Structure 1
Amino acid sequence: MAERTSRPGARLRARALVVRRLLAGAPRPRSVRARATLGASAVVAVALGAVSFALLGLLHGNLERSAQADAERQAVATAGMAAGGRLDPVLAAGRGTDFLQVVDAGGRVLAASPNLAGRPALSGVRPARPGTVRDTWNGRPVREEHRQRVVQVTTATASGLVTVYAGTSLRQADTAGDMITAALAVMVPLLVLTVALVTWRVTGWALRPVEAIRAEVAEINERDLHRRVPVPPSQDEVARLAVTVNATLDRLEAAGIRQRQFIADASHELRSPITVLRTQLEVAQAHPDPALWGELVSGALEDTVRLQDLAADLLLLARLDTAEPAPAAPVDLTAVAREAARPRGGDRVPVGVELAPGVTVRGSTLWLSRLVRNLLDNAQRHAARRVSLSLRVDEERDLAVLEVSDDGPGIAEADRERVFERFTRLDDARSRDEGGSGLGLAIARDIATGLGGSLSVHAAPDGGARLVATLPRTARGSSGGSWAEPGPDRGEGRPVP
């Protein structure tokens, strides 16, 4: 049998293998611009390669089918002549046919076209029954440099089986394939290079605002938080990124301002009792009169307690500001509120209690106790004759609602958010003996928000202030974690049961 070949397909497969090896061994680019360019170029190269392969296959298939159809018509016509006994020794090849040969069952050439005159049988294989065989030869049997498409038709005659060989050259198909392959070998790299260049330029243009944002952020330090990154006018993802970065810088700047203000206020609050304590000690040292020591020691102890309370408040605020997870153990808020109000029955302003039974929330006993105590301390400081503590359940929102109200002067609507700022004292509460340190309500709100709730100020029905804390309820008996808060005396952690 003649050797088969498919040169254009083999060339494309070899080139694809080379490209895959080159891509496998190439280093991966690090920049987004380079990766985008490489990805777009690879996709276009693969797509063009697939299209080129399909185009070459379609072209070769059409040309070969056309050549085969001409040869088959000639072979069938010649076979009919042989079956009818009208076969001439010299056969004329028709349109689209290069050669003809008729061979009997014994291998003797009965007829042939002029270009095969005197030649032996083209194939040594003798068919055993009638039929048609289509094959592609590489040209050697008929001494052609191009491939031939050969149709072999075997038919029965009076003297036995006769085989007709009709062949046509595939030079046109091979020439067209070579020309298209050469054209694609030039055009495909040019197209890929064009796509790579366009992608590189477009990606660079698209990423230019990102690079500007990166350069600006790289130059911002803790002293330059007022600076902002440029926002491109494109209103796309990059513009939204710039807006988000600027919003983050706004929050960082505000946090820095709050931190510096907090440090300044804390320093001021700590300096006053320390100064008073030092003055008392200096007086005691300068006037060693035992009659004055009791009053001096009492004043020094009072300032020391105040310093201790202030340090505990600052430490709790620092812990509330950290990213530690909030305590999540189930706590009986009813019991916590009752325990916080019990020792205040004999105070100057007594506390009236109205508590719903069995109200359970997630949190920490120490945190919730501190929340209730701070609200009661604030109310008693400003109340005239009455402070009320109530706890109820909001069934619709599944919240525990804790309210502390007083009959004092109340809080103006413009100051109802400012009272929760740290070290804030309103004009009627600037006395340190009555106004506290200015951290109680700030700590109370931080605790409420840390536990997933809220704390707000409203006007009481009798004109005083009404502080309302809401906390998410939880089912009694659910599992939870534990939390440790520094003790009021030595800062030691005490686990919450």
Structure 2
Amino acid sequence: MLRSLVRLYLVVLIGGAIAIVLINQSFGKLFHGRVTEIERAADSAYAFVLGDYLQRHAGAERAQALAELQKHGRNGFTLLSLADVRPLLSEHSWSELREGKLVLNDDATSYYLPLPDGVVLYAQRNEVSNLDIQALAYGLFALAILLSVILWVHYHWRDLRKLEAAARAFGSGHLSTRAQLSRKSNIYELSQQFNEMARQIEASILHQRDMMHGISHELKTPLARLEFGLALLQSPESPDRQRERQMALRQDVRELDELVTELLTLSRLEQGEDHLVLMRVSVDELLDSVAASMADDVADRSLVLSVSTAGVIQGKPTYHVCDPKLVARALLNLIRNSTRYARQAISLRAEIGVAGALVLTVDDDGPGIPLADRERVFEPFHRLDSSRDRHTGGFGLGLAIVRRVALVHGGDVRLESAASGGARFVMTLPALPLPVPVKDAAS
């Protein structure tokens, strides 16, 4: 702190000294006309008395009169002719001198006083030097600057120490630590940025912890089944029973493969927009492709899947810029989720929303999702209490992938209640600029 204080003080002190020197050296020239008028008004009586005194001592007596003046002053009087003065003055100053006015030179350190008989009195304006008083004045000036700097640094440094303590505590593992500073603080905005950074890091670390816990939990069950199945294969059984064991093992391997695929997809989406492949996509063809992919699964469950683009401009092909594979993956996850709970029907609808955004809605007529669980359904590995078995609940990654797809497109996804009482998922994808070069894709 002392080093910072000394540096700041020296910078302010040197800056103040330079400013004082510039003012003393340049302001007389910059404001020469105004200074001259002020001096004329202030010294009018002095100039009148001085001129009258010299007029009463003409000729040879004038030199003796000037010598007498020198004994009572320090002006250094000199008598000059108009011819001698003319080269020393500007046109404006020469005109004023010819009009009988007192004229100051450019730096206002001397003056020319015209006398009625054509002689010009030149005098130096020697001011009395009081070095001790000036030193005291400048010393008080430096002290005032020092006290001001100390006062400013005190409050500034106090807040910096608070921010440093918060950073140290956060780095030690106290992820909930935040910097608490007054809004009047000089570094309040910096503290807010630190708090936002700490909040995001805390959320990311907690998310990673939850992900690791969920991954370990999800891997544990199929691995245990695989180990148990391999042990059973070593026991003597009929060929048909052995084939059943092998089929079960293959199913567990496929389950592990599907889990790893879902995790890789989610991990890629967590990296943001860098992996987006934007294309100009036909909305109608995208929805038809998704519906065709789910046709067998929907039919196996005796459900009806309806696709509607009534909200899109009718009679004209509608296009939207997005990553078609990711959007299709999100829609497939939403429909698969609906097939687990729907009683009879599922609907997929597309609309054009505000500012050209594409609004995709998936409804089902199932039991719906309680309000308290609507935010958590988008968390990885989260399953509702009524669907924790994998036959209905999957891995709990499908809706998390849907949310990440919406976020990397700059949109969002929300869960509402459908008109039938079931769940309604609404994904909004804002209008994005066309990529260059433009790619067209059907799905």
Does structure 1 retain, via aligned residues, the 8 Å contact 2:355–2:431? no
Q: Which of 137, 141, 148 is the aligned partner of 1:198?
A: 148
Q: Does 1:390 align with 2:319?
A: no
TM-aligned CA distance change 1:92 to 1:313, over 3 Å: closer
Give the SS at the match of 1:224: coil
Please list, as runs of the form range in 1=range in 2, the aligned pairs for 1:74-85 lying within 5 A after superposition. Answer: 74-77=53-56
TM-score for both structures, normalised by structure 2: 0.75
Q: Does 1:336 align with 2:286?
A: yes
Q: Does 1:412 align with 2:405?
A: no
Give the SS at the match of 1:361: strand
Q: Which amino acid in structure 2 is aligned with residue 479 of structure 1?
A: V
Tell me what 2:95 maps to.
none
Q: Which of 16, 26, 38 is the aligned partner of 1:44?
A: 16
Give the SS at the match of 2:369: coil
Q: Distance in 2 between matches of 1:393 and 1:234?
A: 43
TM-aligned CA distance change 1:480 to 1:407, over 3 Å: farther
TM-aligned CA distance change 1:135 to 1:296, over 3 Å: same
Give the SS at the match of 2:177: coil
Q: Which of 418, 426, 434 is the aligned partner of 1:468?
A: 426
Comparing 346-355 and 445-454, the one that deviates more: 346-355
Q: Which amino acid in structure 2 is aligned with residue 177 of structure 1?
A: V
Does structure 1 retain, via aligned residues, the 8 Å contact 2:54–2:62? no
Q: Which amino acid in structure 2 is aligned with residue 438 of structure 1?
A: G
Q: Which amino acid in structure 2 is aligned with residue 98 of structure 1?
A: A
Q: Which of 347, 350, 357 is the aligned partner of 1:399?
A: 357
Deviation of the 1:51 alpha carbon: 5.1
TM-aligned CA distance change 1:177 to 1:481, over 3 Å: farther
Deviation of the 1:273 alpha carbon: 1.0
TM-aligned CA distance change 1:46 to 1:309, over 3 Å: same
Structure (1 or 2) with the greater helix fraction: 2
Tell me what 1:299 maps to.
248
Q: Distance in 2 between matches of 1:280 and 1:462?
A: 44
Q: Which amino acid in structure 2 is aligned with residue 296 of structure 1?
A: R
TM-aligned CA distance change 1:276 to 1:333, over 3 Å: farther
TM-score for both structures, normalised by structure 1: 0.67
Q: Which of 253, 266, 280 is the aligned partner of 2:215?
A: 266
Q: Which of 168, 181, 188 is the aligned partner of 1:218?
A: 168
Deviation of the 1:189 alpha carbon: 4.0
TM-aligned CA distance change 1:233 to 1:274, over 3 Å: same
Comparing 264-273 and 315-324, the one that deviates more: 315-324
CA offsets per residue over residues 67-115 of structure 1, 9 Å max, x none? Answer: 7665544455556xxxxxxx7x656966xx4369xxxxxxxxxxxxxxx
Tell me what 1:440 maps to.
398
Tell me what 1:178 maps to.
129
Q: Which amino acid in structure 1 is aligned with residue 401 of structure 2?
A: I
Q: Which amino acid in structure 2 is aligned with residue 178 of structure 1?
A: S
CA offsets per residue over residues 332-358 of structure 1, 9 Å max, x none? Answer: 333222111113334222422223563
Q: Which of 156, 173, 178 is the aligned partner of 1:228?
A: 178
Q: Which amino acid in structure 2 is aligned with residue 272 of structure 1?
A: T
Deviation of the 1:278 alpha carbon: 1.9
Deviation of the 1:379 alpha carbon: 0.9
TM-aligned CA distance change 1:249 to 1:481, over 3 Å: farther
Q: Which has the larger radius of gyration?
A: 1
Give the SS at the match of 1:423: coil
Does structure 2 retain, via aligned residues, the 8 Å contact 1:277–1:303? yes
Tell me what 1:159 maps to.
none
Tell me what 1:115 maps to.
none
Q: Distance in 1 between matches of 2:62 and 2:405?
A: 108
Q: Which amino acid in structure 1 is aligned with residue 283 of structure 2?
A: L
Please list, as runs of the form range in 1=range in 2, the aligned pairs for 1:295-374 lying within 5 A after superposition. Answer: 295-325=244-274, 326-346=276-296, 347=299, 348=301, 349-355=303-309, 356=312, 358-374=317-333
Q: Which amino acid in structure 2 is aligned with residue 277 of structure 1?
A: L
TM-aligned CA distance change 1:193 to 1:291, over 3 Å: same
Deviation of the 1:258 alpha carbon: 2.0
TM-aligned CA distance change 1:289 to 1:31, over 3 Å: farther
Q: Which amino acid in structure 1 is aligned with residue 436 of structure 2?
A: S
Where do 5+ consecutive residues of structure 2 fail to align? 30-34, 70-77, 89-108
Tell me what 1:487 maps to.
none
Q: Distance in 2 between matches of 1:369 and 1:153?
A: 102
Tell me what 1:284 maps to.
233
Give the SS at the match of 1:98: helix
Does structure 1 retain, via aligned residues, the 8 Å contact 2:378–2:399? yes
Deviation of the 1:306 alpha carbon: 1.2
Tell me what 2:106 maps to.
none
Tell me what 1:160 maps to.
none
Give the SS at the match of 1:220: helix
TM-aligned CA distance change 1:370 to 1:33, over 3 Å: farther
CA offsets per residue over residues 136-163 of structure 1, 9 Å max, x none? Answer: 9xxxxxxxxxx998978796xxxxxxx9
CA offsets per residue over residues 373-419 of structure 1, 9 Å max, x none? Answer: 1011111111122222122223x442212111112111122222121
CA offsets per residue over residues 440-468 of structure 1, 9 Å max, x none? Answer: 11111110122122211222222221211
Q: Distance in 2 between matches of 1:427 and 1:400?
A: 33
Q: Which amino acid in structure 2 is aligned with residue 270 of structure 1?
A: L
Please list, as runs of the form range in 1=range in 2, the aligned pairs for 1:115-134 lying within 5 A after superposition. Answer: 133=85
Deviation of the 1:437 alpha carbon: 0.7
Tell me what 2:73 maps to.
none
Give the SS at the match of 2:129: helix
Q: Which amino acid in structure 1 is aligned with residue 141 of structure 2?
A: L
